[in-house]
Amino acid sequence: MQAKTTAVEAVQQASRRVEVAGVPGTAVMSGLRAVAADVESVQLLSPEGERVEHPRFALDISAEELRGLYRDMVLVRRFDREGNALQRQGQLSLWAPLLGQEAAQVGSGRAMRPRDVAFPSYREHGVAWCRGVDPTELLSLFRGTEHCGWDPRATGFWPYTIVIGNQVLNATGYAMGQRLDGALGHDHDADSGEATVVYFGDGATSQGDVHEGMVFAASFDAPIVFFCQNNQWAISHPVERQSRVPLYRRASGYGFPGIRVDGNDVLAVLAVTRWALQECRSGNGPVMIEAFTYRMDAHTTSDDPSRYRLADEQEAWKLLDPIERVRVHLSRTGQADREFFDQVDRDADELAARFRAHCLTLADPPLERIYSHVFVEPTEQLERQLADDRRFVALDEAVPMNVSTQGGHR
Amino acid sequence: MTSIVTAGDPQSDVAPSTFAKALNDALRTAMERDDRVLVLGEDVGRLGGVFRVTDGLQKDFGEHRVIDTPLAESGIIGTAVGLAYRGYRPVTEIQFDGFVWPGFDQIVSQVAKVSYRSQGKLRVPMVIRVPYGGGIGAVEHHSESPESIFCHVAGIRVVSPATPQDGYDMLLEAIACDDPVVFFEPKRRYWEKAPVQRDTRSSGSVPTTFSSLVRRAGSDVTVVTYGPSVKTVLAAAEAAAADDVAVEVIDLRTLSPLDLGPVLESVRHTGRLVVVSEAPLEASITSEVAARVTEEAFYSLAAPVQRVGGSDTPYPPSRVEPLYLPGVDRVLDAIDRVLDS
């Protein structure tokens, strides 16, 4: 059965396949006009900084909270930029920038409660910030001194998952466990219960694990929010080539609610995620949220977006910047003054300096790291290999050999 | 490694039991001892599993502990990881060896690496049960021996019991183990009966069953094997004895990490080694045993190591499997070869 296409959808479809004159092949103007034309997307703060009312998602937010969200986003962007710079200067082997996705991450991260658990992919530095992971703890993974620098249980922020989509199933299982434990809350007590949020991108929606996660979550009524940051690009592959329908509508195929939110609107993301978490905590999960946003920088520092997308597209999305609209709103409504903004900028610079300084102190791990925690107890085989490595390293120190940094010391 | 288990009700039940029933009893015992133990997989509940290994468990423990899952192997393994994060001890069932591959990504990328990635801050104590091997006249994808592929993955234990008693003991140990365990069950032995002592693990601390075991002592030739081939090799040893050849048979039981102490000790006094498995030979457990014995006991060897295994082909149509599977005669032929050298 084919659903009829509405006029709005027709506009969206057409606007997302704009052939750009003079560019060979099928250049695509991703996202931009779809945002403007999309009445289905929840928005509470326009790109111009005006509050917008939404019939379903009212948000009563204090000036202090609003200033807090602004500060979060500025600080997160600042250390994200520092991460990029550190990679360019050879201090990190890689950085996965979040530029442009601050509202999607801070809005959803601040909607969570301490007992809730987040399963990230690998770009959720802003969610990490909200969960109380110190930004410096993100560095070891990207410097190559550890695989995960923070405590997942203490923060409720699970390790980064680099295999696309894997974490969606792990998070679903965790949420199934929350339900088995009877950790769901009660309708009459809004503070009770706990839920899981799993983060993934538009590219991941093509993975089988995301599909299976949604099937299992639906089958077992798992209290999980599927939080998809649609940043329009899976490295070079645009979302249009991965889905014929807006991603949030896939949820209906699994029998649970899906909702699209302006992912550059921190207030809308906060309100919608709070609602989704409350649904899950009170036993009405799962819920899918598609945060419609844009990856303003490269996939990672190893990527070169100029090979597959137009700079114009990025320029256009700058008008939808998630931080600028809050800044304008705070200024115009008199909820923040110059002194506040200057202070946030100083805090951001201070954080960046601390981030950088910490990065430079991260030492290479010792030989023993190779063998640690493969199993709960070291096996005889691994102990033998470690002993042999130690013997060799001792030899190497006694009689220096030509140890290649490319090929290891074996 | 010594495994600590909680005391169960002492019994002296030595009634003969099928392999499948012994596994069922182990699951039941584990679920009674620890309410965090969950069973999940396709058709494990109402049906009791396609091999009936989980028969009756859902009825007795409920749908929340014996979970019929949607038909998706990555989903089963991947959600079990999350359940383990949450403090449960999931025992997952993969219906057949050839169906494990959709879950292989989760096994390699998550199950095996969680502890290493988080440096022990997270662990996933879980068991992945996989019926494996041929000899049941099945259609494609139902008779494979993929265990070597799993042994190449660091961070998971790979074990395979050969007898009902070991099925019972090793499954209990696997469930109690804090490392993830891939548990390969020799499916053509499911209906074979042997006495099973069910109180062997009722003491506070018992020797590990994840260790190699000398199944038959002998001084002329060492034959190393595991899983479904153990019975075959024991029959070959019996036949060889009629010709006055004393074969020592070693059941590896743990495939990763290997426990080669008993193998090396045996080779040092027999000087001759045959390694038997029904898996394809290339880059396999039989290769690993041969290589390690060569590294560590080369000067004890009086003859080149011989291997007997499946061909380096996909599993053939079942009507030719009698020719494909290593039988008694092929084992005897290999024994002859190491003796003739």
Task: Centre a 10 Å sphere on the Cβ of residue A315 and count the other Cβ atoms it contains.
Answer: 10
Confidence of residue B132 (pLDDT cuts 50, 70, 90): very high
| CB proximity B83 to A under 8 Å | yes
For the segment A170-175, the average pLDDT, to the nearest whole number, is 98
- Closest residue on chain A to B113 (Cα): A374
Cis check: omega of the bond before B228, within 30 degrees of 0: no
A16, A28 contact by CB (below 8 A): yes
Contacts with A380 from chain B: Cβ below 8 Å: 257
A66, A335 contact by CB (below 8 A): yes
Interstrand relation of B273-280 and A237-238 (parallel, antiparallel or unpaired)? unpaired
Helices A166-180, A208-219: axis angle to 10 degrees equals: 10
DSSP string, A238-253: EGGGT-SS-GGGHHHH
Residue that is written with structure tokens 């996965």 in the block: A96
Q: Which of B72, B78, B179 is nearest residue A166 as measured by Cβ atoms?
A: B78
Confidence of residue B222 (pLDDT cuts 50, 70, 90): very high
Q: Which of B50, B45, B117, B41 is nearest to B79 (CA)?
A: B41
For the segment B209-215, the average pLDDT, to the nearest whole number, is 97
| CB proximity A294 to B under 8 Å | no
Residue that is written with structure tokens 């339900």 in the block: A179
What digits encode the pLDDT tens for the residues B304-339?
999 999 999 999 999 999 999 999 999 999 999 999
Q: Which of A25, A223, A26 is nearest to A113 (CA)?
A: A223
Confidence of residue A97 (pLDDT cuts 50, 70, 90): very high
- pLDDT value at residue A402: 55
- Each domain of chain A, given as residue ranges in start order, spans 42-361, 369-398
Separation in Å, CA A394 to CA A378, A387, A405, B56: 22, 11, 17, 59
CA distance B210 to B203: 17
Which residues 21-80 of A have a C-beta within 8 angstroms of B?
A: none
Confidence of residue B214 (pLDDT cuts 50, 70, 90): very high
Q: Which of B69, B118, B155 is nearest residue A374 as measured by Cβ atoms?
A: B155
Contacts with B264 from chain A: Cβ below 8 Å: none
User: What residues of A are annotated to the active site?
Assistant: 295, 299, 308
**DSSP-derived secondary structure letter, A309:** S
| CB proximity A182 to B under 8 Å | no
Contacts with A213 from chain B: Cβ below 8 Å: 75, 78-79
Is there a contact between A147 and B116 if contact means CB atoms under 8 Å apart?
yes
Q: Which of A153, A171, A379 is nearest residue B82 as measured by Cβ atoms?
A: A171
B109, B144 contact by CB (below 8 A): no
Query: Most B CBs within 10 Å: which of A146, A147, A164, A169, as the mutation test of the B interface?
Result: A169
- pLDDT value at residue A8: 37
How close B79 gets to chain A, by Cα (Å)? Answer: 4
- pLDDT value at residue A90: 97
Confidence of residue A191 (pLDDT cuts 50, 70, 90): confident
Q: Which of A350, A334, A120, A113 is nearest to A227 (CA)?
A: A120
- pLDDT value at residue A215: 98
The size of the A-B interface in CB pairs under 8 A is 133
User: What residues of B are annotated to the active site?
Assistant: 142
For the segment B95-108, the average pLDDT, to the nearest whole number, is 98
Through-space distance between the first and last CA atoms of chain B, rounded to whole angstroms = 38
**CATH topology classification for A42-361:** Rossmann fold (3.40.50)
For the segment A296-302, the average pLDDT, to the nearest whole number, is 95
For the segment B156-165, the average pLDDT, to the nearest whole number, is 98
For the segment B189-205, the average pLDDT, to the nearest whole number, is 80
| CB proximity A172 to B under 8 Å | yes
CA distance A55 to A61: 16
Of the listed ranges A9-23, A324-338, B101-115, B266-280, the least confidently predicted one is A9-23
Token representation of residue A258: 């899906």
SS3 B222: strand
Contacts with A176 from chain B: Cβ below 8 Å: 79, 82-83, 86
Separation in Å, CA A69 to CA A292, A407, B273: 19, 46, 70
Is there a contact between B258 and A171 if contact means CB atoms under 8 Å apart?
no
| CB proximity A7 to B under 8 Å | no
Confidence of residue B96 (pLDDT cuts 50, 70, 90): very high
CA distance B250 to B334: 16
For the segment A58-73, the average pLDDT, to the nearest whole number, is 97
Confidence check: pLDDT of A4 > 50: no
Domain annotation for chain B: domains and CATH numbers? 16-207 (3.40.50.970), 213-340 (3.40.50.920)
Query: Most A CBs within 10 Å: which of B67, B89, B117, as the mutation test of the A interface?
Result: B117
Is there a contact between A174 and B83 if contact means CB atoms under 8 Å apart?
yes
- pLDDT value at residue A40: 81
Query: Most A CBs within 10 Å: which of B3, B36, B76, B79, as the mutation test of the A interface?
Result: B79
What digits encode the pLDDT tens for the residues A130-139?
999 999 999 9
Residue type, A106: V
- Closest residue on chain A to B119 (Cα): A373
Confidence check: pLDDT of A243 > 50: yes
Separation in Å, CA B259 to CA A254, A385, B282: 47, 15, 21
| CB proximity A377 to B under 8 Å | yes
Which residues 312-331 of B have a C-beta within 8 angstroms of A?
A: none
| CB proximity B258 to A under 8 Å | yes
How close B252 gets to chain A, by Cα (Å)? Answer: 15
Confidence check: pLDDT of A300 > 90: yes
Interstrand relation of A237-238 and B193-195 (parallel, antiparallel or unpaired)? unpaired
Rg value, chain B, Cα: 20
Is there a contact between B88 and A147 if contact means CB atoms under 8 Å apart?
no
Is there a contact between A152 and B118 if contact means CB atoms under 8 Å apart?
yes
- pLDDT value at residue B13: 55
B284, B309 contact by CB (below 8 A): yes
Q: Which of A152, A176, A373 is nearest residue B82 as measured by Cβ atoms?
A: A176
What digits encode the pLDDT tens for the residues A319-333?
999 999 999 999 999
Tell me whether residue A399 is exposed, middle or buried, using C-beta atoms within 10 angstroms of its C-beta: 0 to 12, 13 to 18, 19 or more.
Answer: exposed
CA distance B180 to B108: 11
- Closest residue on chain A to B62 (Cα): A180
Confidence check: pLDDT of A35 > 70: no
Is there a contact between A152 and B154 if contact means CB atoms under 8 Å apart?
no
For the segment A329-357, the average pLDDT, to the nearest whole number, is 98
CA distance A253 to A134: 38
Confidence check: pLDDT of A26 > 50: no
Confidence of residue B77 (pLDDT cuts 50, 70, 90): very high
- pLDDT value at residue A401: 59
How high is the ipTM of this complex?
A: 0.94
SS3 A54: coil
* Per-position b or e across A181-204, b if 16+ CB within 10 A of its CB: eebbbeeeeeeebbbbbbbbbbbb
Is there a contact between B79 and A209 if contact means CB atoms under 8 Å apart?
no
Q: Which residues contact A341 (CB under 8 A, 6 or more apart)?
A: A327
Q: In what order do the strands lie in the sheet with B127-132?
A: B66-68, B37-41, B89-93, B127-132, B181-186, B157-159, B254-256
Confidence check: pLDDT of A11 > 90: no
| CB proximity A284 to B under 8 Å | no
Query: Most B CBs within 10 Å: which of A146, A374, A388, as the mutation test of the B interface?
Result: A374
Separation in Å, CA A198 to CA A121, A123, A248, B71: 8, 12, 15, 22
Contacts with B155 from chain A: Cβ below 8 Å: 374-375
| CB proximity B88 to A under 8 Å | yes
How close B193 gets to chain A, by Cα (Å)? Answer: 34
| CB proximity B134 to A under 8 Å | no
How close A283 gets to chain B, by Cα (Å)? Answer: 16
Q: What is the dihedral of CA B145, B150, B151, B152, to 10 degrees?
A: 120
Confidence of residue B202 (pLDDT cuts 50, 70, 90): low
- pLDDT value at residue B292: 97
Is there a contact between A373 and B115 if contact means CB atoms under 8 Å apart?
yes
A121, A128 contact by CB (below 8 A): no
**Maximum CA pair distance of chain A?**
77
How close B120 gets to chain A, by Cα (Å)? Answer: 6
**DSSP-derived secondary structure letter, A307:** G
Backbone angles phi, psi at A364, to 5 degrees: -65, 140
Cis check: omega of the bond before A286, within 30 degrees of 0: yes
CA distance A1 to A3: 6
Contacts with B154 from chain A: Cβ below 8 Å: 374
Confidence of residue A200 (pLDDT cuts 50, 70, 90): very high
Q: Which residues contact A194 (CB under 8 A, 6 or more apart)?
A: A113, A115, A116, A117, A178, A183, A184, A185, A223, A281
Confidence check: pLDDT of A195 > 90: yes
Query: Most B CBs within 10 Å: which of A212, A221, A226, A369, as the mutation test of the B interface?
Result: A212
- Alpha helices by DSSP H, listed for A44-117, are 63-88, 102-111
Q: Which of B70, B110, B121 is nearest residue A170 as measured by Cβ atoms?
A: B110
How close B255 gets to chain A, by Cα (Å)? Answer: 13
- Closest residue on chain A to B292 (Cα): A381
For the segment A205-226, the average pLDDT, to the nearest whole number, is 98
What digits encode the pLDDT tens for the residues B249-304?
999 999 999 999 999 999 999 999 999 999 999 999 999 999 999 999 999 999 99
- pLDDT value at residue B203: 54
Q: Which of A364, A366, A369 is nearest to A393 (CA)?
A: A366
CA distance A287 to A221: 10
> Global pTM?
0.92
